[in-house]
Structure 1
Amino acid sequence: MILLLGGTTEAKEVACCLEAAGMPYIYSTRTEVKFEGKGVSRFGALNKEGLECFCFTNRISCIINACHPFAHELHHTVAAASLNIPKIRYERGFPERAQHELVHYIKDYSEALAWTENSGFTSMLALSGVQSIPHLRSFWQKHRCWFRILDRQYSKDFASRHSFPADYLLFGLPQEKEEEVTLFQKLNPDLILTKESGLNGKLDSKIEAAIACHIPILVIEKPELPRAYKLVHSQQELLHLFQHE
């Protein structure tokens, strides 16, 4: 039995690949999501001990981590688990880092806040996800700040728990460049913040739209993966790895 850690477009690709190969799997996500695959689905966060117990109980022979690039805690939980089984990272594609005076790559939210303070910006459009709301509290408590988040109850409840004003929530997914330009021009923020979320996160569209609107954009660099993983980038690479295990 394979444990597929999902919640992303990549995870759906892996699920289809496993089904086509006739390989049984459990599809696991942190929060409850609609899943239409043939595998068994479950949800709920797992710590190191919980993951070890789950894998032992369900006779897991391999873990495929296809979660979001910024699921930092989960990446390290899987890597640290005392499991003598393959740990595979199914990685999405990432565009080459942009070289432009309006595009700035940074390490974390602290650097983003320092950047806004040093530059004197008083408005921001955050495309960094609902989890970034508490990290940017010191900015949005004093200045205009919009967050684009997924239109689901978990995200709305999370924002509410952190007392973020509902009027500044935008619901939706990343768009193509033209749609992003329309949004950026409408809000006209001093600054845009996003994550290095790869091609499936439409990072290239966000950067191109910001440049077109002459708005500085900060990009939080994706975290490094632990060395415990075997890295694959396609269904073909994944199947090849299984065939040679």
Structure 2
Amino acid sequence: MSILVLGGTAEARELAGLLVAAGVPLVTSLAGDVAEPRRPAGAVRIGGFGGADGLAAHLRTHDTTAVVDATHPFAERITANAAAACAATGVALLRLSRPGWAGRPEAAGWQWVDGLDGARRAAERLGARVFLAIGRQGLAAFAGWTDRYVLVRVVDAPEVDVPGSWEVLRARGPFSFEAECDLLRSRSIDVLVTKDSGGPTEAKLDAAAHLGVPVVAVRRPPVPSGVPVVTTVAEAFAWAAAR
């Protein structure tokens, strides 16, 4: 029997390393959304399961004793599928969700919104030169911005055609505070749009606070009812190792 870690995040890689070192059998599943993912320790599978039913079938046929959902805080569909599949099979499920940025001192002054449509409307009221730091999968919601400069920073190239007024910067973080300040200054950014992802990419928020750039923050989707949540890798390791 083994633990299934739904991964792709730094926390999932750290958890896999701890479980392998402790001799706990596991498989980390990566969705395959990134061309060259950072592979964790231990066994790895790449690709989807075919929805909640496909994941449930996988749990049954691979003697899975527990699942740790350590996917991105905005991987709403995967998290919902994991909850449904584990409920159907009786397999224990834990959500590892790193802390968000709502506790930052300046976060009370951000424009908090639900969803990307709300982020677009809020940003339009705040500025005309936008740093769109939301990843590549949600860019279609902003495709109507053909009248303004938009900076997009992604690891892999966008899957949609972006307007000619946009700049696509391909880079993998984390980035330093100094580099983020230079980026915002050099592009004359007057509004930053981000998701409340948490994690090691907050230097852009430090830079925005330092330079007085307004921030539009997309709230996280809720975790499915009944799914226990921890916020640290240590807690997730203790839970998984006990099973």
Normalising by structure 1, we get a TM-score of 0.86
Cα offset for 1:101? 7.7
Which amino acid in structure 1 is aligned with residue 199 of structure 2?
L
Pairing 1:28–2:14 present: no
User: Is the 8 Å Cα contact of residues 89 and 231 (structure 1) preserved in structure 2?
Assistant: yes
- Give the counterpart of 2:99 among 93, 106, 126: 93
User: Is the 8 Å Cα contact of residues 108 and 221 (structure 1) preserved in structure 2?
Assistant: yes
Q: 2:210 maps to which residue?
A: 212
User: Is the 8 Å Cα contact of residues 102 and 214 (structure 1) preserved in structure 2?
Assistant: no
Pairing 1:146–2:151 present: yes
Cα offset for 1:240? 3.5
Q: 2:167 maps to which residue?
A: 168
Q: 2:48 maps to which residue?
A: 45
State which drifts further: 106-115 or 22-31: 106-115
Cα offset for 1:100? 6.0
Runs of at least 5 residues in structure 1 that lack an aligned partner in the other structure: none
Aligned-residue CA RMSD (Å): 2.2
Whole-Å Cα distance in 2 between the matches of residues 100 and 226 of structure 1?
A: 25
User: Is the 8 Å Cα contact of residues 102 and 215 (structure 1) preserved in structure 2?
Assistant: no
Runs of at least 5 residues in structure 2 that lack an aligned partner in the other structure: none
Whole-Å Cα distance in 1 between the matches of residues 229 and 107 of structure 2?
A: 30
Cα offset for 1:164? 1.7
Whole-Å Cα distance in 2 between the matches of residues 30 and 14 of structure 1?
A: 17
Whole-Å Cα distance in 2 between the matches of residues 13 and 101 of structure 1?
A: 31
User: Is the 8 Å Cα contact of residues 87 and 228 (structure 1) preserved in structure 2?
Assistant: no
Which amino acid in structure 1 is aligned with residue 11 of structure 2?
E
Cα offset for 1:169? 0.7
Equivalent residues in 2 for 1:1-245, closer than 5 Å? 1-31=2-32, 33-38=37-42, 40-46=43-49, 47-81=51-85, 82-95=88-101, 96-99=103-106, 103-119=110-126, 121-139=127-145, 141-150=146-155, 155-156=156-157, 159=158, 161-164=159-162, 168-172=167-171, 173-200=173-200, 202-203=201-202, 205-242=203-240
Which amino acid in structure 2 is aligned with residue 91 of structure 1?
S
Deviations 1:74-113 (A, max 9, x none): 1111112212011011221334144368622221211122
Cα offset for 1:8? 0.8
User: Is the 8 Å Cα contact of residues 93 and 233 (structure 1) preserved in structure 2?
Assistant: yes
Which amino acid in structure 2 is aligned with residue 162 of structure 1?
V
User: Percent identity, aligned pairs only?
Assistant: 24
SS at 2:222 equivalent: coil
Whole-Å Cα distance in 2 between the matches of residues 236 and 191 of structure 1?
A: 36
